[in-house]
Structure 1
């Protein structure tokens, strides 16, 4: 049985605003995501609804941001609404060219307005013998909260995913000082794609002068082919984060 290649991108889109939080650039993000030609997009800080922006910004889409980005490129999507406030909500999303057979959302935050969660989607690829688990995460800014969230993530994976099933876990780990990497790899039995290729985690924040290794793509049960950070224009002018890419065979 032949292998199937799957291309994955993880991206914190800053709710569709540029790195300075001034200009609404979701239409540009959509165009460049399309040009990236990936099979799966793992998105953080994506706006599900915002009543104030809907009435104030002429370019604001008539549908949710995840539906707008998905369009006819990624016909299957899931959205985890996590940060909820009077004017709307935002969270994580998975966009996929393959059908998402099942999905669930686990809120990892103890604070109502914080978008800290695990979005889990299951897809089946051609020629595969079972599901591929896609996990999209956004962890806390505070170190002890991130550690607690990693423990919650491990408990969820151990309880809901067979040990032999392949996993791709991507997102914004907010790991300012690099202390989480070993925990994720040892506790979950995962490897980080960019680090496997380049020997270190990718610098993804801030996008115009990346200094911090915030965003990751971890995996198990698939063969890593390539991984890189999209660090040049136009990406450095869009969100405050840079997107991270990985290509696998399964």
Structure 2
């Protein structure tokens, strides 16, 4: 059986709220994500609990948002709790119609103000000989902090991910200075999915009028068959970030001679 192509979408959900926190958007986000027909979702800023909003705002669910999405999409889910406060917490989540093997939630926090993590999960698509390694990441706002986080991610991958494994690292890198390719991509021999012939990356933030390229998708041992920035008006009215999707399959061995 030839390996099936798999579509992976990365999306910062802004805790299920609109860009200015004026409207609960979780149900609309679930519908929009369902219409993408993705196989794997790598989500950032997923609300696990927010007691105050649940009690105060109509339509804000008391259930963890990854469970709400999982039920609506009939997806398996895994949650990595990163930012923890009294009566609320949020983090990264991986959802998939394939069973998920959760390996680790890597803490890459470098200060008390920004609690960040990388959620390591693996899925086995149809026809694949080995699992697809998925790392869902959310990095800091400051470049000096991100440099430390790139190093932490690099060390983790070198220790825990086989160099032959199909790997995707995606998420909100907050990489407005566009340094991640040099600090992480080259270190791990990664391919960056969203760079055009002129070396430009897509603008993903703020969603309504994108001016910054904050989100990244990196791959290794994968062929990227399709890539898409979801920038329609529908997506502009949901979170403060635009989602990125890639369709991938295992990289075919190069013929010699």
Output the CA distance in 1 between the equivalents of 2:211 and 2:82.
28
For residues 184-235 of structure 1, give each alpha carbon's deviation from its aligned partner in whole angstroms, at most 9, with x where no partner exists. Answer: 2201111111216774221100101101110011101111111121111110
Unaligned runs of 5+ in 2: 251-257
Contact 2:8 / 2:247 at 8 angstroms: preserved in 1? yes
Runs of 4+ in 1 over 3 A off after TM superposition: 196-199
The aligned counterpart of 2:233 is: 233
Corresponding position of 1:22:
22
Aligned to 2:110: 110
Q: What's the secondary structure of 2:206's corresponding residue?
A: coil
Partner of residue 163, structure 1: 163
TM-score, with structure 2 as normaliser: 0.93
Out of 31-40 and 124-133, give the one that drifted further: 124-133
- The whole-number CA distance in structure 1 between the counterparts of 2:199 and 2:113 is 36
1:1-250 matched pairs, under 5 angstroms: 1-71=1-71, 73-195=73-195, 199-250=199-250
TM-score, length-scaled by structure 1? 0.95
- List runs of 5+ in structure 1 lacking aligned partners: none
Specify the SS of the correspondent of 1:202.
Answer: coil
The SS at the match of 1:188 is: coil
CA-based RMSD of the aligned residues comes to: 1.5
| Range that drifts further, 94-103 or 35-44 | 94-103
What secondary structure is seen at the aligned counterpart in 1 of 2:186?
Answer: helix
Number of equivalent positions:
250
Query: 1:105-164: per-residue Cα shift (whole Å, max 9, x none)?
Result: 011013345241110001111211112100000000011110100000000000101111
Change (3 A) 1:197 1:233: farther
d(CA) in 1 for partners of 2:8, 2:131: 16
Counterparts of 2:197 and 2:106, CA distance in 1: 30
- Tell me, yes or no, if the aligned pair for 1:42 and 1:95 is still in contact at 8 Å: yes
